[in-house]
Amino acid sequence: MSISFALTSGLAISRYDSMEQAFLQFLANQKQTLPTDGLGIGDDAAVLAWPADSKLVVCTDLISDETDFHLAEVTPQQIGRKALAINLSDIAAMACQPVGALLTLLLPGGEASLELAQGIYQGAAKLGEQFNCPIIGGDTNSWPGKVAVSITVLGRCPFAKPLLRQGAQPGDAIFVTGSLGGSILGHHLDFIPRVDEALALTQTCGLTAGMDISDGISIDLPRLCKQSSVGAEIDVRQLPLTAAAQQLSQKSGKPVWWHGLNDGEDFELLFTVPAADADQLLAQWTNATPITRIGTIRPERELTMLGDDGTRQPLLPEGFSH
């Protein structure tokens, strides 16, 4: 019989499944940067020490071939990196610190599955090292369909409470990190989760609400506003735009700001700051990642934008749908 194995569960495998045995051996040879009081791959479960006064933050996301990437166009390492990066972006959105990750693989059968599994693990583990988030366990299985990767990240909240989507107040300034648009040209595979920036922002000023931009501002900002029971207005002339957005604009014929609002998968931070603190934040911000004020929270529960000619118009939800 064939038995799938859990990376944290004694690594039970089928005696007939050479791929699983080879992947098991591969995992056994990987180095992990775990705290001395922690336990990762190799036992029935992973073990992490947890301070009694620290909140546990958990997020999970799944990506799959032909929805989030095209297997024929990317490396296994890029798949693994993206799978972890989108979860780290969710941890960053709540101004928390990642601690460890569980990696689950659903792989197409065949001889190439071992190399695919190894590469996905390597891509995730390399990014995990950068953010002190080791792969501490997971699971794997094969099926006749396409590759799918699910990662669950555990994080700690170093502050009194995590940053939430609720809390924005009328008059608050709306900010974003980095630049926006054109992610399909490659950024969705190599973006840097804004974990460090989120922690620095929280220490610099009193953020009122925040989230990451996964589907585009035109879809994500309404989500924040709904949780905060407010409206918002943004100025498209203030959007920080990528060269890739410019490139797509030339092909699509749509304004470059349209791509900044709607392309999705930017994985930048979208956050609000009390109006009285906005100028001080801009003056004090020395991080290499720029921040830009793009709008204002409004008491009326409607979403509007100032177009490139300064006219007010509805902010339409035209962002990216997974």
Count of alpha carbons within 13 angstroms of residue 249, beta-carbon side: 17
Q: Is 138 one of the annotated binding-site residues?
A: yes
Alpha-carbon distances, residue 44 vs 5, 36, 47 (angstroms): 11, 18, 10
Q: Is 139 one of the annotated binding-site residues?
A: yes
Count of alpha carbons within 13 angstroms of residue 101, beta-carbon side: 37
The amino acid sitting at 198 is A
Q: Is 61 one of the annotated binding-site residues?
A: yes
Tokens of 71: 């297997």
Alpha-carbon distances, residue 111 vs 19, 95, 119, 141 (angstroms): 8, 42, 14, 14
Q: Is 215 one of the annotated binding-site residues?
A: yes
Structure letter (DSSP) for residue 193: P
* Spatial separation of the C-alpha atoms in residues 213 and 207, rounded to whole Å: 16
Helices 195-204 and 275-284, axial angle in degrees (round to 10)? 120
* Spatial separation of the C-alpha atoms in residues 271 and 82, rounded to whole Å: 23
* Spatial separation of the C-alpha atoms in residues 225 and 215, rounded to whole Å: 15
Q: Is 265 one of the annotated binding-site residues?
A: yes
Q: Is 235 one of the annotated binding-site residues?
A: no
Q: Which of helix, strand or coil describes residue 242?
A: coil
Q: Is 44 one of the annotated binding-site residues?
A: yes
Q: Is 212 one of the annotated binding-site residues?
A: yes
Q: Is 214 one of the annotated binding-site residues?
A: yes
Q: Is 210 one of the annotated binding-site residues?
A: no
Summarize the annotated binding site as residue ranges: 44, 60-61, 68, 90, 121, 138-139, 165, 212, 214-215, 265
Q: Output the known binding site for Mg(2+).
A: 44, 60-61, 90, 139, 212, 215
Binding-site positions for ATP read: 121, 138-139, 165, 214
State the binding site for substrate. 68, 265
